[in-house]
Amino acid sequence: MTDERRPDGRSRPAGAALLRLYPAAWRERYEPEMLAMLEQLHLGPRGRFDLARGAIDAHLHAPTRVPAAAALVAGGMWTVAGTGIVSQPTPPDWPGYLVEALPLAIIAVVSGGLATVGCWATRSDDTGRRGTVAVLLAVIGHILWVAALVAAFVGLGYGPPTAVAQTLAAFGCLLVGIGLLRTGEGWLGGLLALGAAVMVFAWPVAWLGFGLAWTLVGALLLIAFDPDRASPSRPA
């Protein structure tokens, strides 16, 4: 990385290649300044790790409609899946999935995980360490939930593991919502917390409530989206 050359023939400083991980808007604004700083800092392994971590943070806080779209997709999938299950003459056994509903549920869980991270990122600086723990719990729960649903879809197992993974993901989502409520995000945090609390009960009708909550969250994120409001921040 240190043998790369600039247009003027000078070598690029250590760690400069990691700046390529940052969003284009960030590089346009801060790359010259950061290159000058890197020439003076002589980064070691810890500094390179901080630069890479800063790139993840920059992408999470970049203005984008992805969380809103993901929330709307999650809302639609849960609504369709929940409607199909509620319309059954006999409710399916706990935790309540039908084979034909599993693909919809998998898409909904992936989308809901992305939307949860996007909701947290709107006020991550204000939620602090508790918010970070909450979103990590939500992400881990959603990953396990997807794995459990995929396993059920291919016939590898179903039942308690699926319910446990679902509960863990919903609990993490609930904590993210509570964290947003504490920062003053009443509607966004309230919908997220209420929808997740309903989903913890693993009741088919709850899927409709979860779907409605995600649909409203997506609408709120779309309304609040402003590509010029959030400016990329320079890492400390």
What tokens appear for 185 in the block? Answer: 């995000």
Domain definitions of the chain by residue range: 16-60, 64-224
Burial classification of residue 34, based on how many CB atoms lie within 10 Å of its CB (0-12 exposed, 13-18 middle, 19 or more buried): buried
- pLDDT value, residue 229: 52
Asked if residue 230 lies in contact with residue 62, where contact means CB atoms within 8 angstroms, the answer is yes
pLDDT tens-digit series, residues 138-162: 999 999 999 999 999 988 878 888 8
Q: What is the pTM of this model?
A: 0.77
Q: Does the pLDDT of residue 12 top 70, yes or no?
A: no
Q: 180-203, pLDDT tens digit by residue? A: 999 988 899 999 999 999 887 666
pLDDT at 230: 47
Quick: pLDDT tens for 170-181: 999 999 999 999
Alpha carbons within 13 angstroms on the beta-carbon side of residue 83 total 9
Q: How confident is the model at residue 1 (pLDDT cuts 50, 70, 90)?
A: very low
Between these two residues, 115 and 33, which has the higher pLDDT value?
115
Using the 8-state DSSP alphabet, how is residue 90 labeled? Answer: S
| Predicted confidence (pLDDT) per residue in 28-71, tens digit | 777 787 777 777 777 777 777 777 777 767 666 677 788 899 99
